[in-house]
């Protein structure tokens, strides 16, 4: 029997062919319908959350108006609700986190992508990624038992008295421990793996030809990194920082445990503060009056909007930075 007249060949040439064409057309339609459904679900979910928060928070927003954002009066007993300290705390603690984490993360990722010997890359990279796997409450406990005592003595007195930074106003007052600074530091550790991980991927994706082009011009390793590798990876690194910022803005548990939870705007980073997320975590289960609940919903709505705005700015930044690199590099 030759290959040609084997039964299999006949099946393929006959009805098998038509059946397969027919089947694949239906499959395609089902498949595209299914993925379109999933794609639509995600934005719908986002809108549903925004809608729910907006509606529930509307009474408070309506009653206090713009003052809800600018007033520092948060007194559930008297029914006064101003979210300014929490908004301020969220933003300041996130800024501290990024200021500390960004240079560290870029340093780690540069080391891992450019300098580390092969046998060291995997374990160190894994350990950095592992930071992201630690539960928030564990960070909080570590903060209470390790970070706060260290901050109380020697870090805070050192900054205030030895470096005489109390003159700036940012590092003055009594060194209790629980403070905006403590929250910022714990957030820095928590967002570090996100920034480092993205930066490392982006740096490793820089084509070898870019490094070689710089080296061939007589650049040292560091000059090649600074002149060719980092600029090429710039937009991606900014993206990683933004991802970290998103995490920092919304982080709840560890911050609640370390920030001191006082609804006041203080210049000094040694003073306790509040964030929107920790405010919600602390008060939501105890909120009894409708006004209080509505105010908390309004805080959640503001947090949601601020996160959206930050992400929009980030998108714009990435777009602006990457405009230079998005073209054709043959």
Partner 1 sequence: MTRSLVVPEIMPRVRVSALDAYFGSAHAVKGVSMRIVDRQVTAIIGPSGCGKSTFLRCLNRMHETVPTARVEGGVELDGRDIYARDVNAIAVRTHIGMVFQRPTPFPTMSIRDNVAAGLRVLGAARPSRAQTDEIVEKSLVRAALWNEVKDRLSTSAIGLSGGQQQRLCIARALATEPRVLLLDEPTASLDPLSTQAIEELVYALRRDTTIVIVTHNMQQAARISDSTAFFLNGELVEMDTTNDIFTAPRDARTEAYITGRFG
| Residues 239, 244, 249, 251, Cα dihedral to 10° | 150
**Distance (Å, whole) CA 191 – CA 47:** 27
Per-residue contact flags (x/-) with partner 1 for residues 227 to 246, judged by CB under 8 A? xx--xx-x------------
Tell me whether residue 59 is exposed, middle or buried, using C-beta atoms within 10 angstroms of its C-beta: 0 to 12, 13 to 18, 19 or more.
middle
How far from chain centre, in Å, is Cα 165?
A: 29
Which member of 118, 126, 133, 286 binds partner 1 (CB under 8 A)? Answer: 118
Smallest gap from residue 248 Cβ to partner 1 (A): 28
Return the residue of 136, 168, 210, 282 that touches partner 1, per CB under 8 A: 210
The answer to the question of residue 212 lying near partner 1 (CB under 8 A) is: yes
Long-range Cβ contacts of 222-231 (<8 Å, 24+ apart) = 225/110, 225/114, 229/114, 229/203
User: Between residues 4 and 328, which has the closer beta carbon with respect to partner 1?
Assistant: 328
**Exposed, middle or buried, 210 (CB in 10 Å: 0-12/13-18/19+)?**
middle
- How many residues sit in the footprint of partner 1 (CB under 8 A)? 24
Instruction: CB nearer to partner 1: give 15 or 223.
Output: 223
80: three-class secondary structure by DSSP: strand
CB of 225 to partner 1, least distance (A): 12
Among 53, 198, 214, 245, contact with partner 1 (rule: CB under 8 A)? 214
Is 174 a binding residue for partner 1 by CB under 8 A? The answer is no
Q: Name the site residues for partner 1 (rule: CB under 8 A).
A: 118, 209-210, 212-220, 223, 227-228, 231-232, 234, 324-325, 327-330
């Amino acid at each position: 029997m030759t290959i040609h007249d084997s039964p299999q060949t006949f099946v393929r040439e006959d009805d098998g062919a038509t059946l397969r064409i027919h089947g694949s057309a239906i499959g395609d339609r089902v498949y595209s319908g299914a993925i379109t459904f999933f794609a639509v679900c995600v934005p719908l979910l986002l809108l549903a959350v925004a809608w729910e928060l907006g509606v529930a928070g509307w009474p408070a927003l309506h009653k206090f108006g713009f003052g809800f954002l600018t007033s520092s009066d948060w007194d559930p007993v008297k029914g006064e609700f101003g979210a300014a300290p929490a908004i301020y705390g969220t933003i300041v603690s996130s800024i501290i986190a990024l200021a500390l984490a960004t240079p560290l993360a870029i340093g780690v990722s540069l080391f891992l992508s450019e300098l580390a010997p092969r046998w060291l890359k995997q374990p160190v990279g894994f350990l950095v990624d592992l930071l992201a796997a630690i539960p928030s409450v564990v960070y909080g406990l570590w903060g209470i038992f390790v970070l706060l005592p260290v901050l109380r003595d020697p870090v805070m007195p050192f900054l205030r008295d030895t470096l005489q930074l109390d003159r700036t106003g940012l590092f003055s007052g009594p060194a209790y421990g629980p403070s905006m600074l403590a929250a910022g530091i714990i957030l820095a550790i928590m967002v570090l793996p996100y920034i480092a991980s993205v930066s490392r991927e982006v740096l490793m994706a820089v084509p070898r030809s870019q490094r070689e082009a710089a080296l061939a011009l007589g650049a040292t390793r560091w000059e090649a990194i600074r002149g060719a590798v980092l600029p090429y990876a710039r937009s991606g690194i900014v993206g990683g920082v933004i991802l970290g910022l998103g995490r920092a803005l919304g982080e709840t548990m560890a911050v609640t445990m370390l920030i001191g939870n006082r609804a006041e705007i203080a210049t000094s980073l040694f003073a306790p503060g509040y964030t929107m997320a920790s405010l919600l975590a602390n008060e939501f289960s105890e909120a009894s009056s409708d006004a209080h609940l509505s105010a908390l919903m309004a805080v959640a709505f503001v947090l949601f909007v601020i996160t959206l705005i930050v992400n929009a700015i980030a998108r714009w930044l990435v777009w602006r930075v990457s405009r230079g690199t998005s073209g054709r590099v043959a």
